[in-house]
């Protein structure tokens, strides 16, 4: 019998190879534009960083760089400019944060200024913060990103439990910053995340709705490929995308016990190997790579956002925080969301939703009163809260804030449908031991590159967890 059968995997690879060649032939001009976009992003981020570092350096008079008198650091004069240094990771809202800080400072007639420094996206916020501590250049106010941060910074930050804005916080938003009855930070924003997809590209492939199970997602990928559309763009060079967010949404949220309990006990009395969810996570991860643009583990945050905005792929694993960047690159995108579909259960389609960071205050800062006032301003001032919605595109973590979710963009509109339907899960990664991202990411990337098997990946995750628990 003549002829041969082509396996489904071979078909996928052939489709993908043909599509890549097609993209390479037909998008030379687009690639040039993409390079310009990427260069523009880098230039804008660099310019914003320079502006934020220089914004408060224009008037020093007889003070040194931290605002204290050169003759007597313990004295304050009417001419002293108090320069408050803030360190954050929100690269999508650099300008917005500096503008908000500048508006707050207007009440001090030039005697108080705020410098906002930002490292995030493709930069390593946590490592940079640790470097600042090591060099004794600790900012006056900075971000704590997870519960285990309290073990590191607890002795350096102040208890804010008596602040007036505490009662304004939405129930549950203070959990990861509370320890032994003390509340160490103010929640920044509530952020759902998951798979964000381009509805227009789905429609081009004849797909009328988002998938709700793993099988439906697999079928969606095949339809997109048949239509000449690449399903996934994966910014898996970034540890926080792969080792934090993906791991949380596809594994920690799916374990057969309470997610917080598991995250607290894994590496001690629980293992990833004992969880069926681990293999399901690996299967989903492999699907995103097999149906993704080339070099998934080499693509960084900025490049992945630019590729998604340019329509080079239909789906990206990100959250509501990318809306401001997409609005700048392609404001007409029609977007939706769905969860990490690791299996075919009815309840698998949920969005991880939680507080991505907390503002904390350095106990040794000379300007604690002013920083506390700034925190109160952000949480209670009508103009400030309005800015969080309209300019930052934030879901504010404070009660009584009335706003139209459409003001935040269509990603938030899609996420809000999940929230209202109760189809959400938590940020369980906040309870994993310090250093888990750096430990997990190389193994996950190796798996994406077909360098290790599924079982080897899971065993390495367990070995890494035990190692950092010691």
Tokens of 464: 């890494």
Q: In angstroms, rounded to a whole number, what is the distance separating the alpha carbons of residues 423 and 163?
A: 32
Q: What tens digit of pLDDT does each residue of 4-29 get?
A: 334 555 565 666 666 655 555 544 44
The whole-number average pLDDT for the span 135-152 is: 86
Contact 319, 389 (CB under 8 A): no
According to the model, what pLDDT value does residue 23 have? 55
Contact 79, 62 (CB under 8 A): yes
According to the model, what pLDDT value does residue 68 have? 40
Indicate the fold that domain 42-53+81-189+356-401 takes in CATH. Answer: D-Maltodextrin-Binding Protein; domain 2 (3.40.190)
Contact 396, 189 (CB under 8 A): yes
Classify residue 29 by burial, with Cβ atoms within 10 Å: 0-12, 13-18, 19+. exposed
Which of 335, 410, 358, 392 has the alpha carbon at shortest distance from 142?
358
Backbone angles phi, psi at 436, to 5 degrees: -65, -35
Q: What tens digit of pLDDT does each residue of 277-334 get?
A: 999 999 999 999 999 999 999 999 999 999 999 999 999 999 999 999 999 999 999 9
According to the model, what pLDDT value does residue 434 have? 87
Classify residue 401 by burial, with Cβ atoms within 10 Å: 0-12, 13-18, 19+. middle
Q: What tens digit of pLDDT does each residue of 72-128 get?
A: 333 344 568 999 999 999 988 999 999 999 999 999 999 999 999 999 887 788 889
Answer whether residue 436 shows pLDDT above 90.
yes
Q: Please enumerate in sequence order all residues whose Cβ is within 8 A of that of 54, keeping only pairs 6 or more positions apart, or say none.
A: none
Identify any residues that bridge with 82 across adjacent strands, giving them in sequence order.
112
The whole-number average pLDDT for the span 233-254 is: 97
Which of 371, 433, 375 has the alpha carbon at shortest distance from 188?
375
Beta strands in 364-405 (DSSP E): none
pLDDT higher at 67 or 395? 395
Q: Do the domains spanning 42-53+81-189+356-401 and 192-354+412-469 agree at the CATH topology level? A: yes
According to the model, what pLDDT value does residue 423 have? 97
According to the model, what pLDDT value does residue 12 have? 59
Confidence of residue 50 (pLDDT cuts 50, 70, 90): very low
The whole-number average pLDDT for the span 356-379 is: 96
Indicate the fold that domain 192-354+412-469 takes in CATH. Answer: D-Maltodextrin-Binding Protein; domain 2 (3.40.190)
Contact 378, 388 (CB under 8 A): yes
In whole numbers, what is the pLDDT of the chain averaged over residues?
Answer: 87
According to the model, what pLDDT value does residue 120 have? 87
Answer whether residue 147 shows pLDDT above 90.
no
Share of the chain above pLDDT 70, in %: 83
The whole-number average pLDDT for the span 455-466 is: 98
Q: In angstroms, rounded to a whole number, what is the distance separating the alpha carbons of residues 227 and 222?
A: 9
pTM here is 0.80
Q: What angle do CA 341, 346, 352 make, to 5 degrees?
A: 45
Q: What tens digit of pLDDT does each residue of 281-295 get?
A: 999 999 999 999 999
Sorted by where each begins, the domain ranges of the chain are 42-53+81-189+356-401, 192-354+412-469
The whole-number average pLDDT for the span 369-389 is: 95
């Amino acid at each position: 019998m003549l002829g041969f059968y082509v396996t489904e995997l071979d078909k996928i690879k052939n489709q993908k190879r043909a599509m890549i060649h097609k993209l390479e032939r037909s998008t030379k001009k687009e690639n040039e534009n993409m390079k310009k976009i990427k260069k523009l992003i880098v230039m804008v981020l660099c310019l914003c960083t320079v502006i934020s570092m220089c914004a408060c350096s224009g008037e020093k008079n007889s003070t040194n760089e931290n605002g204290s008198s050169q003759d007597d650091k313990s004295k304050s004069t009417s001419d002293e400019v108090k320069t408050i240094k803030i360190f954050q990771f929100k690269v999508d809202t650099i300008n917005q944060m500096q503008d908000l800080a500048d508006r707050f400072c207007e009440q001090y007639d030039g005697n108080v200024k705020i410098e906002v420094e930002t490292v995030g996206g493709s930069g390593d916020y946590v490592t940079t913060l640790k470097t600042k501590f090591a060099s004794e250049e600790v900012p006056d106010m900075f971000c704590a990103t997870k519960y285990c941060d309290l073990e590191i910074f607890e002795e350096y930050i102040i208890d804010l439990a008596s602040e007036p804005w505490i009662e304004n916080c939405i129930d549950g938003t203070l959990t990861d910053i509370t320890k032994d009855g003390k509340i160490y930070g103010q929640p920044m924003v509530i952020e759902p995340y998951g798979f964000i997809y381009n509805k227009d590209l789905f429609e081009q492939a004849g797909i009328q709705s988002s998938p709700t199970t793993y099988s439906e997602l697999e079928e969606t990928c095949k339809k997109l490929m048949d239509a000449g559309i690449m399903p996934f763009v994966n910014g898996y060079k970034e540890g926080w995308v792969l080792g934090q967010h993906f791991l949380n949404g596809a594994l920690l949220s799916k374990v057969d016990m309470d997610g917080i309990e598991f995250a607290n006990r894994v590496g001690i009395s629980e293992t990833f190997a004992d969880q069926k969810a681990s293999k399901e996570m690996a299967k989903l991860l492999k699907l995103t790579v097999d149906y993704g643009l080339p070099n998934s583990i080499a693509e960084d945050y900025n490049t992945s956002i630019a590729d998604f905005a340019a329509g080079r792929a239909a789906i990206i694993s990100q959250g509501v925080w990318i809306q401001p960047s997409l609005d700048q690159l392609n404001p007409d995108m029609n977007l939706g969301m769905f969860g990490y579909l690791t299996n075919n259960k009815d309840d698998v389609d949920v969005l991880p939703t939680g507080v991505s960071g907390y503002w904390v205050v350095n106990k040794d800062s000379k300007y604690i009163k002013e920083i506390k006032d700034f925190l109160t301003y952000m949480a209670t001032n009508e103009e400030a809260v309005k800015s969080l919605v309209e300019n930052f595109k934030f879901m504010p973590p404070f009660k009584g804030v009335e706003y139209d979710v459409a003001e935040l963009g269509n990603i938030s509109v899609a996420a809000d449908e999940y929230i209202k339907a109760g189809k959400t899960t938590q940020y369980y990664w906040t309870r994993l031991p310090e250093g888990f991202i750096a430990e997990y990411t190389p193994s996950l990337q190796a798996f994406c590159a077909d360098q290790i098997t599924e079982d080897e990946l899971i065993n390495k995750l367990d070995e890494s967890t035990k190692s950092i628990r010691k």
